[in-house]
Amino acid sequence: MCRPGWCMAQSTYQPAETRIRIFDPPIMTLVVYGGVIVVYQAGEVDTPLGRMLLIPALLGALIVPIMTFRALGHTIMSSLGGGKLLRFTSGPLLIHRVNDQLKLGFNVRWARYAGTAITAPEPDADLRRWIRWRETGSFLGMLAYVGLVLLIADWLRGQAFISDFPDRARLLETISFGLSVLVITLGVWQLINRHVPRIWRMSRGGQGAEREASIIGMTSLLMVGHRPQEFPERWATLARWDDDESIEGLYGYRFAYLHALDSGDLDAAEEYFQYLDDNAERLPNRMREQIIELERPFVEAWIRDDPDAAREQLDELGQRIVDQHRMRRVQAAVALAEGETQVAREYATEGLNAAAPKLDDGEVKAEAAILEEILQRTGGDIGETVWEGYDDPDDEPDDVEDDEEMEPESEERVTGEATSRQ
C-alpha cells in the first residue's frame, strides 16, 4: 500500500531535478584526483590516508593514456570506415556531438570514464565495413601507445638526468617494459576474444552479420541519448532476421519493437512483441524477464487496450529486480487502461522522477516520453502535487512493491547485454 506522506514526497515531477549520490561523478573524480592534491599540499602524502588516495590517482594516471589511445584508434578507423564520432573522453576532456556538431566539454565523470569513444555509422554507410574498420582501430590504438612509450623511453635514456644515474636508467627500463607488456597483453587478449571473431563475421557477410552490425549501430545511438525513433529505418529492418533462431535474432526483434513503439507504429510494435512472446523459451531466464515478461502487461494495456489481461499479467509479475522507472511505466499504463487516473498519474510521476538522472540513455528517454504522455492524459502538470489534500489511507492505490524493494541490486539492463558485445 502507498502510505500517506510517502506518496506526497514522490508526487511532484521535476524534469531538471539534480540528484547527488556518493558514487556519482563529479564526487568520485574529486575523491580520486582532488583528494591526493589536498594531502600533498598538507604534506601528508606519506601517511595511510595519503597512500589510500594516491594509489587510485596513480592508477587513473596510468589508465587514462592507455584507454585514450585505444579510443583514438577506435575513432579514427571508425571515421575512415564510414562512421562518425558521438562521444569521446580523455581524462577531463569531453568531445560530444550536439545537434550534429562536435562540441568541447568537461568530463565530470573522469574517475569512471578515463578514455572512451562511442561512434556510429552514417545512416547510409556499409555497416559491415564500418564494424571491420572500427574493430581494427581499437587494437591499432593500443599498438600506437606502446610505440609512444618506447619512443619516450628512448629519448629519456639519452638525457643526462637519466643516463648519469644507473638506478634511474634501470627504473626507466622496468617501467617502459612493464607498460609495453601490459598493453600488448591486453590488446592481444581483446583481439583474440572480440575483434578478430567480429571482423571475421563481418567479412563473411550474410544476414547474420548485417543484423549484428545494425544492432551495434542502434546500441551506440542509445548510449548517447538517441531515442529508438531516431534509428534509421534500414537498421531496424536489417535487425529483423531470425532464420537462424538465435538469441541475437530475438535481440533484433526487440530493437525493431523499440523503434516501432517509440515511432508510434503500435501495430508493428504489437507484431514484433508477439514474435518475441512466441519465442520466449529461447531466451535465458533473466533476459526473458527483462525483454518479455515485464513488457507483457504494458503491451496489453498500452497497445491492446485490454485492462483485464494487463492486470492479470501484472499480478503474475510479483517481485522483480528492475529499474523503478520501468516498473512505474508498466504500472501507470495498466492503471490508465483500468480508468484509475489518479493512480496512473502517481505512478507516472514517480517513474519520471526515477528516470530523471538517467536521461543520457536513449531507451530511458523513450520510456520517459510514455510516462509524460500518461501524465498529460490524466490531466497532470509538471510541478503539480498529485495527491494534495489526500487523507484517507483506506482508499490509497495499491502499490506492487515498496520503493526499497524496487531498487535494482545492479544496473543490469538488456541494452547492457548488447553493449557488452561491442
CA-angle at 224, arms to 221 and 226, nearest 5°: 55
Residues 263 and 408 in one domain: yes
Same domain, 175 and 227: no
Model's pTM, two decimal places? 0.78
Q: Does 214 map to a domain?
A: yes
Do 371 and 222 share a domain, yes or no?
yes
Cβ atoms 120, 84 nearer than 8 A: yes
Among residues 187, 218, 249, the one where a domain terminates is: 187
Cross-strand bridge partners of residue 94 = 89, 105
Query: What pLDDT is attached to residue 74?
Result: 96
104/159 same-domain check: yes
**Among residues 197, 71, 93, 198, which one has the least CA distance to residue 142?**
71
Domain with 77, as residue range(s), is: 62-187
| Structural domain contains residue 49 | no
Q: Does the residue 412 lie in any domain?
A: yes
**Do 286 and 340 fall within a single domain?**
yes
User: Residue 218, by phi and psi: left (phi above 0), alpha (psi -120 to 50) or beta?
Assistant: alpha
Query: How many structural domains are present in the chain?
Result: 2
DSSP label at residue 361: S
Domain end point (choices 187, 218, 243):
187
123 shares a domain with 157: yes
Evaluate whether residue 33 is within a structural domain: no
Residue numbers in the chain where pLDDT is lower than 50: 1-11, 16-18, 20, 22-23, 385-422
244 & 179 share domain: no
Contact 415, 421 (CB under 8 A): no
pLDDT score recorded for residue 99: 86
Position 2 scores a pLDDT of 43
Written in H, E and C, the secondary structure of 253-318 is HHHHHHHHHHHCCHHHHHHHHHHHHHCHHHCCHHHHHHHHHCCHHHHHHHHCCCHHHHHHHHHHHC
pLDDT for 320 equals 73
Residue 331 shares a structural domain with residue 219: yes
Residue 263 is assigned to a structural domain of this protein: yes
CB-based contact 110:67 (threshold 8 Å)? no
> 212 and 307, same structural domain?
yes
Pick from 128, 159, 187: which residue ends a domain? 187
Q: Do 249 and 288 belong together in one domain?
A: yes
Q: Let me know whether 160 and 212 are in one domain.
A: no
pLDDT at residue 27, as a whole number: 61
How far is residue 33's CA from residue 413's CA, in Å, rounded to a whole number?
30
Whether 31 is covered by a domain: the verdict is no
In a domain, 173, yes or no: yes
Helix (H, G, I), strand (E, B) or coil at 102: strand
* Placement of cell 573522469 in the chain: 110
Please indicate, yes or no, if residue 282 is contained in any of the structural domains: yes
Beta carbons within 10 angstroms of residue 72's beta carbon: 21
| Residues facing 83 on adjacent strands | 121
Same domain for 231 and 336, yes or no, is: yes
